[in-house]
Amino acid sequence: MWHMYLPIAGNSTNVLLILGLGGIVGFLSGIFGVGGGFLMTPLLIMFGIPPTVAAASDSNQIVGASTSGTFAHYRLGNVDVKMGVFLLIGGVVGGTGGVQIIKVLRHMGNADFLINITYVLMLGFVGSYMLIESLQSIKKKPSMAGARTSKKPSAYARMMKSLPGQLFFEKSGVEMSFLMPLVMGIFVGILAAIMGVGGGFIMVPVMVYLLRMPMHVVVGTSLFQILFTCVNVTIMQAYSNHTVDFILALLLLIGSSLGAQVGAKVSRFLKGEQLKIILAIIVLIVMVKMLLGLLIQPEILLSYIGGH
């Protein structure tokens, strides 16, 4: 009785299972400001949803969840709209370029190989760096950590200062050239398009380490940016590939919106360093899972292309 038929996926599913799945991923998304696509899509595939439908419906779901999450964080003063808009413009430019790069790679063959390797390396690098950095700064006393960052006007910081178009971002409390978020947006957009994900888990470390934004503002701003990216992806997928299953998305959405609200509240009780450590561990788990997927012989040596 708890089953519902998904017309685009062409299969039935347990309503409670999908609500629960949405809830868990939404909770993580509310805490960390990641869309959760890199967790949700593989889980849906595991439960028998065709891969293309899983990815596209998940984007539709993230639109709702990130609306709810952005809204919650906005009320808490955690969204840097100015920074978000620059990242977004860069993201759209980068994403469009990334799609072209993918086309060229597919033409050359071995695109899947490059995508998988990029995925594992990125996840491994980002996860390890965040984990090590957070553990180190927890060990150090707060005053020492402060002294360390102020004493070190590194080449990177000098470069940031020398760029034209310096702006002050009030919400984040940082001053930098508008070119920085623009270029970073392009970079993440390209990677996200190549890897076929929203890019939240790359965007978050970029904002923390390269844009030097405070962790809580990072989460809200990231959700803000993800919202717009996924609106675009959902409409494109629905229009050109017919892979958005609205019933699936709505079920996931109800679960994940509730989860995101709870997550946003929980995130207030966690310190920035703790957030980073937990996110780093999740990213590393996903990396190990992907790596195992590449190393272990699959049960079936054929897979469908596209929907069927």
Binding footprint of another protein on the chain (CB under 8 A): 3-8, 10-12, 48, 60-61, 63-69, 71-72, 75, 112-113, 116, 231, 234-240, 242, 244, 246-247, 249-250, 253-254, 257-258, 261, 293-306, 308
- Closest CB 216 distance from another protein, rounded Å: 17
3 state DSSP class of 169: strand
Distance CA 302, CA 201 (A): 30
- Calpha distance 233→195 (Å, rounded): 14
Task: Please identify, using beta-carbon distances, which residue of 88 and 254 lies nearer to another protein.
Answer: 254
Closest CB 206 distance from another protein, rounded Å:
25
Region of 192 on the Ramachandran plot (φ > 0 left; ψ -120 to 50 alpha; else beta): alpha
| 258 contacts: CB under 8 Å, gap ≥ 6 | 23, 26
Could you give the angle at which helices 215-240 and 15-32 cross, rounded to 10 degrees? 140
- Are 56 and 243 in contact by the 8 Å Cβ rule? The answer is yes
> Quick one: 64 or 199, whose CB is closer to another protein?
64
Smaller CB separation from another protein, 76 or 145: 76
Q: Is the Cβ of residue 150 or residue 304 nearer to another protein in the bound state?
A: 304
Rounded Cα–Cα distance for residues 20 and 171 (Å): 34
Residue type, 202: I
Closer residue to another protein, CB minimum distance, 145 or 262: 262
CB of 257 to another protein, least distance (A): 4
Least distance from another protein to the Cβ atom of residue 228, Å: 11
> Distance (Å, rounded) from C-alpha 108 to C-alpha 111?
7
Give the nearer residue to another protein in terms of CB position, either 108 or 155.
Answer: 108
Which is nearer to another protein, 113 or 125 (by Cβ)? 113
Shortest reach from residue 273's CB to another protein, in Å? 26
Shortest distance, CB of residue 264 to another protein, whole angstroms?
9
How far, in Å, CA of 189 to CA of 170, rounded?
Answer: 25
Question: At closest approach, how far in Å is the CB of 291 from another protein?
Answer: 9
Nearest to 256 by CA among 68, 41, 65: 65
